[in-house]
Amino acid sequence: MSKAEEAWSRAAICVDRVQGARSEETRRFFTRLRDSWVRQANSYQLAESLEAEIAAPRAQRRRRRGGEAERKS
C-alpha cells in the first residue's frame, strides 16, 4: 500500500468515527483529523506522480513534450 493509499484509508476511518460519534466535540475532532489525512493524501499523490514522471525514460518524456507542442500548434 502506498503512502497516499494509507492516508486515504485513515481519512475513511475518520469519516466512520465522525458518523459514530455521540458528541459534537468528538465529531469536530475527527472531522479535523480527516481533513488532515486528506491533505496528507493529496500531498503524497502529488509526490508520487512527480516521482513517476522523473522515473520515466527520457525518450518517452521527450515524445510526450513534442506531442503536446504539436497539438498546441
In whole angstroms, give the CA distance from residue 40 to residue 43.
5
Residue-by-residue pLDDT tens, the chain, 73 positions: 999 999 999 999 999 999 999 999 999 999 999 999 999 999 999 999 998 888 877 656 566 666 555 555 4
31 lies in which domain range?
3-72
Q: In the prediction, which pLDDT does 43 show?
A: 97
Residues 47/35, Cβ–Cβ less than 8 Å: no
What's the pTM value of the predicted model, to 2 decimals?
0.72
Q: What is the pLDDT of residue 55?
A: 84
Q: What are phi and psi of 48, to 5 degrees?
A: -65, -40
